[in-house]
Amino acid sequence: MNQQILGLLRQVEAGTLSAEEAMLHLKMEPFEEVGNFAKLDHHRALRQGAAEVIYGAGKTPEQIQQIAKAMQDSGQSTILITRMAQEAADYVGKSLRLRYDPLSRVGIVGELPTVDGVGKIVVATGGTSDMPVAEEAALTAEALGNQVVRLYDVGVAGLHRLLSHLEDLMSAQVVIAIAGMEGALCSVIGGLVDCPVIGVPTSVGYGASFQGLSALLSMLNSCASGVSVVNIDNGFGAGYLASMINHMEGKR
């Protein structure tokens, strides 16, 4: 989409297209009707720097396939699909080139983009059980053009596991700290690094964890500076925010 708009502007500059004609083209481009169930926002990449993402939960396999095909036809080379069921992946994979990760339920149509982020994003988890959310965050960040380093099962129950990765943590542009139970990993990392930390509480834990509410409240009440928190199990939101940070002017 950016290349199409740039092409219009160059035609105006060259005098082969009038400003009024270019405006008409732009007016016709903002969104596309797909069936009677979706309106594709083709200008999102221009406005926000990243194209629209398909949220797979609640959509039929046929709807996901039609939306992804329309996005591909419009020139989008990497299409991210989150919360995608195996059934939908099997269906979409018959007609589109799909890479599917059943752990995170993330599907990617097309090739991963060239890495163009400023630095690296570290994704750390308290435990192995947090990996589905972590992979959603990591794959989202990779689909948006970032280098990702994964540090899994480095929770505070064995703090030495985390401390053995200090070089990775301290050289990161942004860290995503993912944990359930009491969510302490977020504060610990926040007290070690000089970059933004994005906390992701997960619904992992026993009864009094209240499906991630205890971890959410712990992270929101962190005494470490530079910590922000997304919603419970929202790996996508963390990966997207981390990518935005990593595409700003960073460490020099």
Q: Looking at the DSSP assignment, which residues form a beta bridge with residue 31? A: 41
Q: What is the pLDDT of residue 250?
A: 44
Number of helices and strands in the chain (H, E): 11, 11
Mean pLDDT of the chain: 88
Give how far Cα 165 sits from Cα of 48, 73, 106, Å. 33, 43, 27
Q: What is the pLDDT of residue 43?
A: 64
Nearest partner of 121 among 168, 169, 174, judged by Cα:
174
53-95 tens-digit pLDDT: 889 999 999 999 999 998 888 778 899 999 999 999 999 999 9
Taking residues 86-114, report their average pLDDT: 94
8 Å CB contact between 238 and 135: no
Identify the residue with better confidence: 162 or 12. Answer: 162
Q: What is the pLDDT of residue 28?
A: 55
Poorest-confidence range of 26-40, 97-111, 192-206?
A: 26-40
First to last CA, the chain: 31
pLDDT for 237 beyond 90: yes
pLDDT for 46 beyond 80: no
Structure tokens at 88: 């939908």
pLDDT for 11 beyond 80: yes
Q: What is the pLDDT of residue 31?
A: 64
Per-residue confidence band for 213, with pLDDT thresholds at 50, 70 and 90: very high
Poorest-confidence range of 3-12, 99-108, 192-201, 222-231?
A: 3-12
Q: What is the pLDDT of residue 204?
A: 95
Identify the residue with better confidence: 229 or 5. Answer: 229
**DSSP code string of 223-239:** -STTEEE--TT-HHHHH
Identify the residue with better confidence: 215 or 13. Answer: 215
Q: What is the pLDDT of residue 3?
A: 61
Taking residues 120-125, report their average pLDDT: 97
pLDDT for 48 beyond 90: no
Per domain, the residue ranges of the chain are 10-110, 120-246
Q: State the fold for domain 120-246.
A: Rossmann fold (3.40.50)
Q: What is the pLDDT of residue 197?
A: 98
Give how far Cα 31 sits from Cα of 41, 43, 75, 172, 217, Å. 5, 7, 14, 37, 38
Q: What is the pLDDT of residue 45?
A: 66
